[in-house]
């Protein structure tokens, strides 16, 4: 039930002290619970807050707004409800703040500068939706089971039994037709005959995984990720694959291309819904993301990318506490769409800012600090967040996935700092961006020598059956070539080209060739920006053949000229449409060039 604490226990509270966004209150005549929503009243303004710590009849709140003007004795309203989000039709294509207030509605109310104390409905209560039931009166249903469907943009939105419903319930009534968002579309009864009304929109606490209670009731089953998330970025899909329903992190220094890469992953990945959480990034970057997503054509649906995207926008200029909450808002929305049997991608940019918000709040609570003043529970908080990703099989046999990719912004590109290290201990794919590669205008600037993916072995059966039987062995061999090339390059820094053999020099040239034509892509070229898995296979096998063949070079200069020309031809091949005249022409010229230096087998 949604009765407030005031209704239940006649609880009242008042402000005792203020420290930044932390407000200490005293409660009398009732109860208060952790993570409960409270409202600090300042004149006509009601500042939304969340209970962080309870100590007897006193509690400490984190206020999601600026606390200017809050004074001793000010009234505090207790809601009796946990910090929650609204789940229902109308989420797609919307831009929210960290507390799920639609920013477009706030802008209409307040103009350019948003006023504090605003609390706007996340979903328009007056909007109407076409509801089609999929069950009948008398049917037995359980938590998470589908009651009806609503067409929403490019997906079928499923209206489900509330996720916290207990036991088997009976459908007493169910409606059909066009209904408002705030309408009740079904009535269920439990084993004792108590009714439960089912609206189109349900709420869920953001800090509680949707799957947790349902797993306890054995209504869903967590599965081992067995399919790759195809991003159409060669270096990721081939060398460092991410499983669909898996976890990955993209750490890198400022200017290394995290935002650009995340945008392309969002656009071209094999997912149904994209959720972008901008928690603490600069406002300019977020505005650019919003503008690009609204204009970008969606290659999967033919519409706009924003039609299957939700943006949670909490920039660095917004309150710190709301920045911390934005991650949980985003992942709860992702879990909701996963429960429908959809594949969801959550991009968090960046978890460093989220951790910094926790550090600031922890300091004001005077908690014992951990390394670099981050809270001692930083590691467990990061693990709890990433563990909410995964693949789930529902009671009806459908599967849904939630893939979580978080970018990390370590100061100075230092991967040894606590947030990066805690993240590395949690995720199964690490795509480390290098400042040196970004400075050389390499894109993506993923360093193949420090990056890794534990999914490569996990997805081996998929690549062997769907791509090539020798795919894994070939990738491992090419990865070793990159390491050998780097070792030779370091030797050349000391001795120069004269200090190495021609065999080592050719190995170095082959490694450079692989790096330039396969690990790099042109983000501005309409063909090379997105490479389907089938073309990745053709390109990789051709690279592998060119590298594994033996060549007869008279000297290092001849080897350099050969590989320089080969690299240029291959880059042109990458930008030519498959099976076009240009593609065939460049393929032929590569074969002709290869024949000029190839060692002829006398046998």
Q: Are 433 and 349 in contact (CB under 8 A)?
A: no
Could you tell me the maximum CA-CA distance found in the chain, to the nearest angstrom? 96
Q: Compute the distance between CA of residue 504 and CA of residue 581 in angstroms, rounded to an integer.
A: 37
The whole-angstrom separation of Cα 197 and Cα 174 is 10
Q: Quick one: residue 274, left, alpha or beta (phi over 0 = left, psi -120 to 50 = alpha)?
A: beta
Beta-strand runs (E) in 240-308? 247-251, 273-279
**Is the separation of the CB atoms in 589 and 569 below 8 Å?**
yes
Q: Supply 556's token pair.
A: 């290092």
3-class SS of residue 198: strand
Distance CA 551, CA 340 (A): 55
Cβ atoms of 146 and 162 closer than 8 Å: no
Which is nearest to 275 in space by CA: 324, 332, 320? 332
Q: How far apart are CA 277 and CA 413, in angstroms?
A: 22
Place of tokens 């039930």: 1
* Tokens representing residue 235 in the block: 């270096």
Name the 3-class secondary structure at 154: coil
Q: How many of the other CB atoms lie within 10 Å of CB of 419?
A: 30
Query: What six digits make up the tokens of 307?
Result: 């039609």
Q: Which residues are annotated as a binding site?
A: 252-259
Per the CB < 8 A criterion, the answer to whether 306 and 379 are in contact is no
CA dist 472 and 479 (Å) reads 11
String of DSSP letters for 511-570: HHHHIIIII---TTSTTTT---HHHHHHHHHHHHHHHHS-B--SSHHHHHHHHHHHHHHH
Structure tokens at 104: 């477009």
> Residue 459, preceding bond cis, omega within 30 degrees?
no
Q: Coil, strand, or helix at residue 93?
A: coil
Q: Which residues of 39-64 are buried (b: 16+ CB within 10 A; e: fewer)?
A: bbbbeeebbbbbbbebeeeebbbbbb
Please state the residue numbers annotated as binding site for ATP: 252-259
* Residue 405: closest CA among 455, 442, 351, 447: 351
């Amino acid at each position: 039930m949604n009765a407030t604490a005031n209704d239940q226990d006649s609880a009242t509270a008042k402000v005792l002290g203020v420290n930044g966004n932390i407000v200490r209150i005293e409660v009398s005549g009732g109860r208060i619970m952790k993570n409960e929503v409270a409202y600090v009243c300042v004149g006509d303004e009601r500042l939304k807050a969340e209970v962080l710590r309870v100590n007897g009849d006193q509690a400490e709140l984190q206020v999601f707004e600026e606390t200017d003007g809050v004074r001793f004795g000010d009234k505090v309203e207790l809601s009796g409800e946990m910090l929650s989000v609204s789940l229902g039709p109308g989420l797609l294509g919307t831009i929210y703040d960290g507390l799920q207030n639609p920013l477009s509605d706030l802008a209409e109310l307040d103009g350019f500068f948003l006023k504090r104390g605003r609390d706007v409905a996340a979903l328009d209560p007056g909007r109407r939706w076409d509801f089609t039931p999929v069950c009948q009166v008398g049917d037995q249903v359980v938590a998470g089971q589908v009651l009806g469907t609503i067409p929403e943009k490019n997906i079928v939105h499923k209206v489900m039994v509330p996720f916290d419903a207990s036991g088997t319930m009976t459908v007493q009534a169910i409606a059909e037709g066009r209904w408002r968002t705030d309408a009740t579309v079904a009535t269920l009864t439990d084993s004792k005959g108590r009714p439960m009304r089912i609206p189109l929109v349900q709420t869920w606490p953001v800090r509680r995984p949707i799957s947790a209670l349902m797993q306890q009731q054995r209504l869903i089953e967590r599965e081992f990720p067995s399919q790759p998330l195809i991003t159409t970025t060669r270096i990721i899909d081939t060398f460092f694959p991410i499983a669909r329903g898996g976890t990955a992190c993209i750490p890198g220094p400022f200017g290394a291309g995290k935002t650009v890469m995340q945008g392309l992953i969002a656009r071209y990945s094999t997912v149904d819904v994209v959720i972008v959480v901008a928690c603490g990034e600069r406002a300019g970057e977020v505005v650019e993301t919003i503008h690009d997503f609204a204009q970008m054509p969606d290659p999967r649906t033919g519409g706009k990318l924003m039609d299957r995207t939700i943006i949670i926008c909490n920039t660095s200029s917004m309150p710190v506490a709301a920045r911390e909450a934005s991650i949980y808002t985003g992942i709860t929305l992702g879990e909701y769409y996963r429960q429908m049997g959809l594949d969801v991608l959550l991009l968090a940019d960046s978890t460093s800012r989220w951790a910094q918000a926790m550090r600031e709040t922890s300091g004001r609570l005077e908690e014992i600090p951990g390394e670099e003043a981050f809270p001692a529970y930083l590691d467990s908080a990061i693990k709890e967040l990433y563990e909410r990703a995964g693949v789930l099989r529902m009671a009806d046999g459908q599967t849904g996935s939630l893939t979580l990719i978080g970018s990390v912004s370590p100061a100075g590109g230092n991967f040894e700092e606590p947030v990066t290290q805690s993240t590395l201990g949690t995720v199964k794919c690490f795509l480390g961006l290098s400042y040196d590669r970004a400075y050389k205008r390499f894109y993506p600037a993923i360093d193949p020598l420090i990056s890794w993916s534990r999914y490569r072995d996990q997805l081996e059966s998929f690549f062997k059956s769907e791509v090539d039987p020798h795919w894994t062995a070939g990738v491992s061999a090419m990865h070793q070539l990159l390491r050998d090339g780097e070792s030779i390059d370091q030797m050349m820094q000391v001795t120069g080209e004269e200090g190495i053999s021609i065999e080592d020099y050719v190995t170095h040239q082959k490694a450079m060739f692989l790096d330039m034509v396969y690990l790099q892509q042109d983000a501005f070229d309409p063909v090379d920006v997105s490479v389907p898995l089938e073309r990745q296979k053709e390109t990789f096998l051709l690279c592998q053949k060119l590298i594994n063949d033996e060549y007869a070079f008279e000297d290092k200069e001849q080897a350099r000229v050969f590989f320089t020309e080969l690299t240029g031809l291959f880059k042109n091949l990458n930008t030519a449409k498959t099976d076009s005249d240009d593609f065939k022409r460049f393929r032929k010229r590569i074969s002709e060039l290869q024949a000029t230096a190839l060692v002829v087998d006398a046998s």
